[in-house]
Amino acid sequence: MAKDSIRLEKVADLLRLALRLAGSAEGLTLDDIAQEFSVSRRTAERMRDTVRDLFPGFDQEQDGAHLRVFIRGGLPPFLAAPTAVELAELDGQVRALEQAGHRERAAALSRLADKVKAAQRDKGKSRTATDLEALRRAEAVARQVGPRAICDVGTIDLLREALLALKKVRFAYPNTGQDVPLSRLVVPYGLLFGRNAYLVGQQSKHSQPVLWRLDRIMDLEIVDEATQVPADFSLDAYAARSFGTFQEEPAHVVLRFLPAAAAEARRMVFHPTQQLRDLEDGGVEVSFTAGGLLEIAHHLFTWGDNVEIIAPDALRHLMVRELERALARHRNADRGPTPQA
């Protein structure tokens, strides 16, 4: 990398740090800075000191054993003004959420985009409008194949209200084998978004949280009963237990990709816990720990015969069963001729 590029990168990091300090209510510690910018503690100290010398609103407070730093009063408008690329990314996320069926989340993000644009000065608006429109025409969101459940309007907002107020919720939810939905009293832990949207919550008679599909929740109401999410519960850790959203006991998964698919497999993130091992024949072995074996099997369909399941046996047997079912369906000799249009 050229020296000029290195210098510009350091300047960009300083501006990013200033933006983070101005936008953070609780401030950042030196460890936070070092982790976020992937630098040593000594470099984090130099970055902090440089920002302190450049921005008059710099301040710091002692928080136990840690010293937190931040910038009071915000930054000059020209430093905080969004770029056309940043606005285009925001716009792209709105479109992606709309196409995925998450209308309420798309609407909330769209309102944020409008507020960001409204905060711009007139000169800034005219400067970015042309570039933003050009990027919109040049970028699109690929349609995802498969059905998507549609959540009732207001469900997410009401659940977020309960999560912020630390209140229980009550709702009717279908019960397998019964025509009448059952009433559930649930402690909400958080919201989990994937192809469908879920409430992660715990009923009083159960020791572990479970998933509730938002599109199946009916007659939702907030109960005036205070509750508390366990201090040791992490929604990110809960979500990371599975390949998708289905929760089951995690298994150690080992997949071997043939050389023809190795390059693509190396670019994929199958799971946050994954590890890659290059093989002598040019292939690659991917291993990770997760539940959701059926979702894993369905994903592996897309790799055809370029992947081999090494472990666990349960996943390999599940894959064989799913393949046999699909094969039997499509080889059914009793099917009549395809109707003519």
The identity of residue 84, as a single letter, is: A
Q: How far is CA 235 from the centre of its chain?
A: 11
Are residues 134 and 166 both part of a single domain?
no
Cα(313)–Cα(152) distance, rounded to whole angstroms?
Answer: 40
- The range of the structural domain enclosing residue 323 comes to 251-328
In-domain check, residue 150:
no
Same domain for 113 and 60, yes or no, is no
Decide the pairing of beta strands 58-63 and 307-311.
unpaired
Each residue's pLDDT, cut to its tens digit, for the chain (341 residues) gives 444 444 556 777 888 888 888 887 788 888 888 888 888 889 988 988 888 888 888 888 888 888 898 888 777 666 667 777 777 777 777 777 776 667 777 787 788 777 777 766 666 566 666 666 665 666 555 544 444 555 666 788 888 888 888 899 999 988 876 778 889 999 999 888 776 778 888 987 777 888 888 888 989 999 998 888 888 888 877 776 655 555 567 888 999 999 988 888 887 777 777 899 999 999 999 998 877 788 788 888 888 889 999 999 999 998 999 888 888 888 775 555 555 54
pTM: 0.49
Per the listing, tokens 């995925």 go with 100
Residue position matching structure tokens 């936070």: 32
Residues 183 and 160 in one domain: yes
| 220: helix, strand or coil | strand
Beta bridge partners of 186: 169, 203
- Dist CA 199 CA 208 (whole Å): 13
Write out the DSSP string of 14-63.
HHHHHHHHHH-SS-B-HHHHHHHHT--HHHHHHHHHHHHHH-TTEEEEEE
Q: Are residues 26 and 43 in the same domain?
A: yes
Whether residue 222 is contained in a domain is answered as: yes
Residue 337 lies in a domain: no
CATH of the domain at 276: 3.30.70
* 90, 132 Cβ separation under 8 angstroms: no
Number of domains composing the chain: 4
Residue 48: CATH number of its domain: 1.10.10.10
Q: Which residues contact 191 (CB under 8 A, 6 or more apart)?
A: 156, 159, 160, 163, 197, 198, 199, 200, 214
Q: Are 161 and 219 contained in the same domain?
A: yes
Only one residue has tokens 């000065």, namely: 121
